[in-house]
Structure 1
Amino acid sequence: MGWHNGCIRCMVGVPVASVIATVLCFAGVALFCGCGHEALSGTEKLIETYFSKNYQEYEYLIHVVNAFQYAIYGIAIFFFLFGILLLAEGFYTTTAIKHILGEFKPHAIKGGLISTVTGGPPKSRGPRSRHPVHTLELLCRCLGRWLGHPDKFVGVTYAVTILWILIFACSAVPVYIYFNTWVTCQSIAVPAKTSAGISNLCADARMYGILPWNSFPGKVCGTSLLAICKTSEFQMTFHLFIAAFVGAGATLVALLTYMIGASFNYAVLRVTGRSDRKF
């Protein structure tokens, strides 16, 4: 029954916070990467179609967009591996803490063996009661050599969280730009909402640094801008950026949850004097 003990040792005391954070992290990263990738492609198409007719004027923009899209692939791979690693750490450290605090009760096993998760190896009543170690138990022991160090995971998670806060702030920029354009279109559609003339209401891509100042036309005004806002490309790109921003926010919440959980586990190990012990 060695496999049973190994399974209990690895799985008992499920870290609810880590599980929720992992699901939230995967969902947030999927939204951010998938929607962000398509939104960048939509932005590139809008610039090419309506704001500049010279390829050299937005060539640099295309290179930047392509670089961000490749970075998105890397972000997706990193968070997939990082989320799995943090989830495994949550399982292992939570089990170790309950081991220390003695929250696991003895479990009776057939064949005259009585083993506990908190105790050492199973006590045997006879030489024939030994059983071969199961593969799952070997896997748990292998993971234990790499996990059980919440202090390291706290530091790494802090660094990743700080970097992600910057990405979260950057993801708000295109939402702000598209929202301003949408508000301008609403003013054009209902002239009574503004005292300015319709021809003076414009969306200028140059003022946001998207295009150089010598780009032509660089901006679209009046009814031409309203026509752009009504296109499916603009509406879809706007909503995709919003979804990417929401995904970035969900990922940030997941990272904060990871960080709080890892900090709590480390604090418990420090209080119990086991922070340097390998479980």
Structure 2
Amino acid sequence: MLKSESCFECCIKCLGGIPYASLIATILLYAGVALFCGCGHEALSGTVTILQNYFEVVRGPLDSLDVFTMIDIFKYVIYGVAAAFFVYGILLMVEGFFTTGAIRDLYGDFKITTCGRCVSAWFIMLTYIFMLAWLGVTAFTSLPVFMYFNIWTMCQNITAVEGANLCLDLRQFGIITMGEEKKVCTGSDKFLKMCESNELDLTFHLFICALAGAGAAVIAMVSADTPPPSQWNSYS
């Protein structure tokens, strides 16, 4: 009986040593980054398909910087973001374990060392910088969502804009140079085929999911950058 009570107390202490705030922030960070990277990558691939099939945009030479080259660059950036924040999530959990007040209760009443203060301060500053970066990523991701929302709305109200003769000109979005003319007008076969295809609807909703993932990453950064009250005494 005494042995079972001892094991129970040990389990309670172990559970008390888990930094739940850092754990939730890490899970939210992984979920947000995975949603942003996965949906963003597929949305960019869908954008390439739409540009080639309905706007007839042709990929330029390998040494030229066109919209397809920029999309390839964004895909490689997504690969790097996924790998970097996988490592960062692990560091976030480790930092949470070693700065939580429950660890102090388990191993004795100690004061955090000067080195520990520097590490924690550096980690908080790094998290703050990442949070600002993800705010920029969220704002940047909202641009294709806004573009696709306009196109998707036109397709949903195709009967209302049938006699309006509206055109989607890629030059307005800065995708091609002003010397080129790649546009699709309402009432044309290309516009009708694009609205009936799965690429437009799927790409639009993938960008929405990518935007939601970027927002979740920002929330995770805010949660990770604000230590719970149980950690405040560790810095005194």
In the superposition, the TM-score normalised over structure 1's length comes to: 0.70
Of 49, 57, 60, which aligns to 1:45? 49
1:84 counterpart = 2:74 = no
Please tell me whether the aligned partners of residues 135 and 218 of structure 2 are also in contact (alpha carbons under 8 angstroms).
yes
Q: Structure 2: where are the runs of 5+ without partners?
A: 1-6
Q: Structure 1: where are the runs of 5+ without partners?
A: 105-116, 121-143, 273-279
1:247 maps to what in 2? 213
What do you get for the CA RMSD once the two structures are aligned?
A: 3.0
Instruction: Indicate the percent of aligned positions where both proteins have the same amino acid.
Output: 40
- 1:199-214 equivalences under 5 Å are 200-214=165-179
- 1:4-83 equivalences under 5 Å are 12-56=16-60, 60-83=66-89
Distance 2:124 2:83 in 1: 21
1:238 maps to what in 2? 204
Distance 1:69 1:54 in 2: 19
SS at match of 1:203: strand
Looking at both structures, which has the greater relative contact order when contacts are Cα pairs under 8 Å and sequence separation is at least 6?
2
Distance 1:156 1:53 in 2: 41
Bigger Rg, which one: 1
In the superposition, the TM-score normalised over structure 2's length comes to: 0.82
Deviation at 1:227? 2.8
- 1:1-279 equivalences under 5 Å are 12-56=16-60, 60-94=66-100, 97-98=101-102, 103-104=105-106, 117-118=107-108, 149-187=119-157, 189-191=158-160, 197-198=163-164, 200-216=165-181, 218-224=182-188, 225-261=191-227, 267-270=232-235, 272=236
Q: CA offsets, 1:208-245, max 9 Å, x none?
A: 101122223x1111123243122111111111111111
